[in-house]
Amino acid sequence: MYEKSVIIVEDDEITALNLKMSLKKHGYNVIAIFHDSAQAKKHIFDYKPDIVIIDISLQEKDDGITLANFIKKEHSIPFIYLTSYSDDEIISQAKLTEPYGYIVKPFDPASLHATIQMAVFKYELETQRKENIASLQLDKANLEQSLSSKKVTDNPIVFFGDDYHIDIDICESYYNNQKIKLTKKENAFLRLLVAQLGSVVSFEQAMNYVWDDHGATENSVRTLVWRLRSKLQTDIIKNASGIGYYIEE
């Protein structure tokens, strides 16, 4: 694992030096120290640090908060506050910037290291989730295109199985032209199966599409399939053992 790069924004030179020494002992690369928010705003993007430590009270009591807001809006860089404040109003303002942690003066080197590690981990996790959401949105767009391509006429009707069809505009399914009463998740899963007729829908695909990956498990998918099968007139949903499910084309 490469050493994390850190920028310190602290107007007290002794505190800044102590921070730098403590960080270096724990293997961090302190790439810059700024003593005011104006310097930091001007140069922070040039350095592209992994994390920024901001004294909550630079020249003004809330100047660090102003800087944090700037970083949050203009740059995707996690930051943590260094503070000796117990003022409820200042802390309330600081919370609104959604920092990744707080370090209280006088700081403990071990706590400093732990706070940075947790902050970086949280930031990386959030970044991965955002990337997953973006990928999921793309997958859903592709799926809708695939579903639309299966229409046999200009009508929004896609046929599947024997005597089944789905109206893709209103996301309703029918058997012998009789509407099948399904839940939102059941309809979504059936839509996914129809979009990939003849191909296996994996457990992961189902969890992402039906639940947006919010706490679902393979057992959640199995339970959903069991309920869906009980509402269908024929056994059209096939098992791909240990992988997922499919409907024959």
Condensed to tens digits (0 to 9), the pLDDT of residues 173-219 reads 999 999 999 998 998 899 888 888 888 888 888 888 888 756 788 89
Q: For residues 104 and 219, give the distance between their C-alpha atoms in angstroms, rounded to a whole number.
A: 45
Measured over the CA atoms of residue 241, residue 244, residue 247 and residue 249, the dihedral's sign is negative
In this structure, the chain runs to a length of 249
Q: Do 5-131 and 150-247 come out as alike in CATH topology? A: no
User: What is residue 249's predicted lDDT score, i.e. its pLDDT?
Assistant: 80
**pLDDT band of 128, cuts 50, 70, 90:** confident
Question: What is the per-residue pLDDT for 63?
Answer: 83
Please write the tens of the pLDDT for every residue from 50-103: 999 999 877 666 688 889 989 988 888 999 998 876 667 777 888 888 889 888
Q: C-alpha dihedral over 48, 68, 62, 119, to 10 degrees?
A: -90
Residue that wins the pLDDT comparison between 26 and 91: 26
244 Ramachandran zone, left/alpha/beta (phi>0; psi -120 to 50): left
- pLDDT of 23 > 80? The answer is yes
Q: What is the pLDDT of residues 131-164, one digit of tens each?
A: 655 555 546 667 777 777 777 667 788 888 889 9
88/53 Cα distance (integer angstroms): 21
Give, in order, the Cα–Cα distances in Å from 9 to each of 20, 40, 61, 123: 11, 7, 14, 19
Name residues whose C-beta falls within 8 Å of residue 66's C-beta, 6 or more positions apart in sequence: 37, 60
For the record, the structure tokens of 236 come out as 């059209």
User: Where do the domains of the chain lie?
Assistant: 5-131, 150-247
Place of tokens 């990928």: 135
pLDDT for the residue 138: 46
CATH topology for the 150-247 domain: Arc Repressor Mutant, subunit A (1.10.10)
pLDDT over 60 (residue 9): yes
Q: Which CATH architecture has domain 5-131?
A: 3-Layer(aba) Sandwich (3.40)
Residue 81 Cα to chain centre, angstroms: 23
